[in-house]
Amino acid sequence: DSSNQLKNDEFYWEISDYSWSPDSKWIAYSFVQPNRNSKIFLYSLDSGKSTPVTDEFYDNLNPSFDANGDYLYFLSYRHFSARMDVFEDNHVIPNPVQVMAMQLKAGQKPPFFKPADEAEKKETKESKAPKEAKEPKGLFRIDLDGIRDRAFVLPVSAGNYFFLKAGKGCVTWASREDFGENEYEQIFTPGGRRVWDVHIFDMADEKEIVIDKKINDWRLSANREQMIVQSGTDYCVGTVDKAFSSKSTGEALDLDRMIYRVVPREEWAQIFNDAWRWYRDFFYDPGMHGRDWKKMGESYRAYLPQLTSRQDLNWLLSQMVGELCVSHTYISGGDGGPQKSPDNPVNTGYLGAELEATPSGFYRLKTIFGPTEYARELEGPLVRPDIAAKEGDYLIAIDGKEIRTPANPYAHLQVIRGQKVSVTINDKPAAAGARTYVVETVVSEYDLRYQRWIADNIKKIAEASGGEIGYMHITAMSSDNTAQFDKYWRAFKYKKGIIVDVRGNGGGWTEYFLVDKLEREMVAKNCLKNMVPFEYPPGASSAHYAVLTNEYNGSDGEAFVEHFKARELGTVIGVPSWGGLVGILNGQTTIDNGTVHQSNNSFYGAAGNWLIENHGADPDILVENDPASAMAGRDKQLDTAIEVLMKQIKEQPAVFPEKPPYPKR
């Protein structure tokens, strides 16, 4: 069977969930349908025919045959019970998956049947006796007629379930309490972290247990009676029955004497060939951007004998895929050998301050960074109620040693984590009258400086606009960044203008979450007695929008700009973006745990043109922050956005009709 239908552009690629029947004459598998839900199919090797055993109304995955031959189990996304957002404009389906059991033979009582009287209880108990007592051993059959009507929900709670594997008279699956961004690419295969709970459900006892520790992965033996479990660095083996009764992972294997031998040059040749082939098979353009890919492989393969390290191989592969002149051609990782740099516990400590040399010979605290109104959780070493330090004060000494220009003050801030230092500060460039405080430095000032920049921008825009324009900066496009957007959206959506800054955006995949909010329009005013009418729907805004973009805005940040422009939501200001929108999914792992990403996910617009790649998303108004302006502390792109929005607010006020007269009855 084959299909070129994608489920989505995030996690689904090849057929990854199939199961052989106990007699090896049937294969169960799922295939995605045009509505992006997957059907379960059964393929008969005897007849050569495939039969769908579910429809596409629900999304069904992970079919697996019970070793006893009684059931086909699968996971079904059919539990639509919503959890509401406190802000009244979002919802999530928190536990969408139910475990299903499909009877393979017709004419049997349904599983989980509750008998009405003693006679029926006896009959039901006998029907659950081992099949070998009633049928010839090894007999397996599937009655296809009416099989769709013989699918039953297991009597367990719905949840976030994954990786179903049927045992012998039982079924196992993994769960996570919350579905997060990492799980999108782990629908079929665990990603290697110890985060999963394993469930075992015994069909005879109709009982579910959860193994008592988190695991990375697990496998069942060919006869489905044994299981091997990875939990952290431990590998444990035991019977499924014992795991069910004890809720434990089994006995840990001793791997201390396990060794393997590697012939690096042979391994590097295999990795090279794999990478070349993955690009041949998965690169988005079948024409390989006009390159003769076979010849390209031969040319670069000739360098293999000259390699002296695994890092050399990554460099060689990067040069080869770089010939395609496209973004997201990421080659990384691999087994670099046992070498390890010695641990260095010393790091440069930072005071959370911008130091400025002065003619007096002392450094001045030009700027002191600490918590802001929008990030109170930050801690600045010099921002404490018991420290009387202010911007403009002078740094006199560190640990009692006087600090004078042009000496590097950070030479005296070489510390280990947790080490405290004393700093001497004065409001004049002299030691007399100075104050000394004991502080703990920070390893990085990035968050402190970034949040100060955000706060300064918000303050500047509010002052320039009379409080009529809000501001947000979105650092990337992931689940965390949808929350970052919401943080400022909730605060500023009722202002007359909003600046959305995606300069330096690191990309991701969630840009359309943001656009969904921006393009939601107010359609009414909601009026209650003696109350000011408010916008309906409550998540809408009537603000004018401006977007800031620059050459460091990449990937999904660029898609946001293109999407924003396509929906005609406002004005884009800045310079063309990075120019990389042929994205990646289905990254391949090399034999030595390196990673090869192929640029395989491209976009074209309604006009029939490829978007952004090797060009960037163009602004409506071209404004560059030149070095002279930056040195002067001026943000020309931000200034232009304020000017544009203030003009729009003045010339195109968002006027909603006055409240109409109340009706008379």
CB 30 within 8 A of CB 5: no
Mean pLDDT, to the nearest integer, of 468-481?
97
Contact assessment for residue 364 and residue 390, using Cβ atoms and an 8 Å cutoff? no
User: 192 or 448: whose pLDDT is higher?
Assistant: 448
Q: Which of 80-89, 186-195, 542-551, 586-595 has the largest mean confidence?
A: 542-551
Whether residue 620 is predicted with pLDDT greater than 50 in this model: the reply is: yes
Beta strands in 68-188 (DSSP E): 71-77, 83-84, 91-92, 97-103, 151-153, 160-166, 170-176
CA separation for the pair 4, 14 (Å, rounded): 9
pLDDT-derived band at 539 (thresholds 50, 70, 90) equals confident
In 3D space, the residue among 401, 404, 405 whose CA is nearest the CA of residue 413 turns out to be 401
The residue type at 489: W
Rg (CA), the chain: 32
Gap between the Cα atoms of 442 and 445, Å rounded:
7
Q: CA-to-CA distance for 549 and 657, rounded, in angstroms?
A: 35
Give the helix/strand (H/E) hosting 498.
strand 497-501
Predicted confidence at residue 342, as pLDDT, reads 79
Q: What is the pLDDT of residue 132?
A: 43
Best CA proximity match to 236, nearest among 188, 187, 198: 198
Q: For residue 365, list its beta bridge partners.
A: 355
Write out the two tokens for 594.
């390196």
Q: pLDDT tens for residues 508-518? A: 999 999 999 99
Q: 619: which residues sit within 8 A by CB, 6+ positions away?
A: 549, 561, 572, 573, 574, 575, 576
pLDDT > 90: what percent of the chain? 82
537 has pLDDT over 60: yes
* Number of other CB atoms surrounding residue 101 within 10 Å: 23
pLDDT at 385 over 90: yes
123-177 pLDDT tens trace: 655 555 444 445 555 589 999 999 999 999 999 999 999 999 999 999 999 999 9
Cα separations in angstroms, 144 against 22, 51, 103, 150 = 17, 8, 10, 10
- Provide CB contacts within 8 A for 622, sequence distance 6+: 574, 575
**Average confidence score pLDDT of the chain:** 93
Is residue 192 within 8 Å of 209, Cβ to Cβ?
A: no
Three-class SS of 252-272? ECCCCCCCCCCCHHHHHHHHH
| pLDDT for residue 122 | 62
Residues in CB range of 138: below 8 A, 6 or more apart: 23
Q: Residues 6 or more apart from 94 whose CB is under 8 A from it?
A: 81, 82, 83, 160, 178, 179
| Tens-digit pLDDT profile for residues 3-34 | 788 887 656 667 789 999 999 999 999 999 98
Omega within 30 of 0 (cis) for the link into 619: no
Query: Could you tell me if 184 and 478 are in contact, meaning their C-beta atoms sit under 8 angstroms apart?
Result: no
pLDDT greater at residue 89 or residue 201? 201
Rounded Cα distance between 652 and 406, Å, is 55
pLDDT for position 117? 62
* Identity of the amino acid at 358: T
Using pLDDT thresholds of 50, 70 and 90, give the confidence band for residue 622.
very high
φ, ψ of residue 460 to 5 degrees: the values are -60, -45
For 306-357, the pLDDT digits (tens) are 999 999 999 999 999 999 999 999 999 999 887 777 788 999 999 999 999 9
DSSP H or E segment with residue 609 = none
In this prediction, residue 534 has a pLDDT band, given cuts at 50, 70 and 90, of confident
What pLDDT does 277 receive?
97
Closest CA to 603 of 620, 593, 615: 615
pLDDT-derived band at 443 (thresholds 50, 70, 90) equals: very high
One-character DSSP codes across 392-426: T-EEEEETTEE--TTS-GGGG-EEETT-EEEEEEE
Tens-digit pLDDT profile for residues 480-501: 999 999 999 999 999 999 999 9
* Predicted pLDDT of residue 139: 83
pLDDT at 119: 61
Give mean pLDDT, residues 617-623.
98
pLDDT at site 441: 97
- pTM over the 0.85 mark: yes
In 3D space, the residue among 324, 326, 436 whose CA is nearest the CA of residue 389 turns out to be: 436
What are the beta bridge partners of residue 252?
Answer: 236
Q: What residues does 251 pair with on adjacent strands? A: 237
How large is the angle between the packed helices 264-282 and 293-301, nearest 10 degrees?
170
Calculate the CA 649 to chain-centre distance. 37
Phi and psi torsions of 324, nearest 5°: -80, -10
